[in-house]
A and B are shown apart, each in its own frame.
Chain A
Amino acid sequence: MPIDLGDSKTRSINLTNSSGVAVAADSTPTYAVTLPDGTAGIAPAVQTGVTGEYYVVYPTVQAGLHGELWTAVVAGVTVVIRRSFTVELTTPLFVDTEEAIAHLRAAGIIVSAADLEQLRTLCGVSCSAVEADLGRLVARQVVTETFDGGQSALILASTPLISVTTVVENGITLAAGDYTAVVSAGIIYRGGQQSPRPWLWGRQNVVATVVAGFLVPPRVLRKVALNGVQRMWQSSQQTHHPGLDDVGAEEAIFGAVGTLTPLELAAYNSFRAPGFA
Chain B
Amino acid sequence: MTSTVAPVKAALVALFTTALPQVQVIYGPIETKTTTGPNVLTVGDVAGATEMDSLTYGTAAERYTVACSISCGINGPDAQQTVTELAMGFYVAAELAVREHPTGDLGVAGVLGAQPTGEFELVETAEPTGRYALVQFSVYVQAQRT
Contact = CB atoms under 8 A, between A and B. Distances in A.
A243 B134 contact: yes
Given A242-B125, A244-B69, A105 B37 contact: no
B80 to A, nearest CB: 13
B132 interface: yes
Interface residues on B, range: 20 to 34
Q: How large is the interface on A (under 10, 10 to 19, 20 to 34, 35 or more residues)?
A: 10 to 19
Contact of B34 (A233, A239, A245, A252): A233
Contacts of B37: 239
B74 to A, nearest CB: 10
Interface in B10-54: 29-31, 33-38, 40, 42
B71 A243 contact: yes
B100 interface: no
Determine chain A's interface SS by DSSP, over half rule: loop
Interface in A215-238: 233-234, 237-238
A241 B34 contact: no
Nearest to B44: A244
Contacts of B40: 239, 241, 244
B116 interface: no
Contacts of B34: 104-106, 109-110, 233-234, 237-238
Interface in B68-85: 69, 71, 73
A240 interface: yes
Interface of A: 104-106, 109-110, 233-234, 237-245, 249, 252
23 contacts: A109-B34, A233-B34, A234-B34, A237-B36, A238-B33, A239-B37, A240-B127, A241-B36, A241-B40, A241-B132, A242-B127, A242-B132, A243-B69, A243-B71, A243-B123, A243-B132, A243-B133, A243-B134, A244-B29, A244-B71, A245-B30, A245-B31, A249-B31
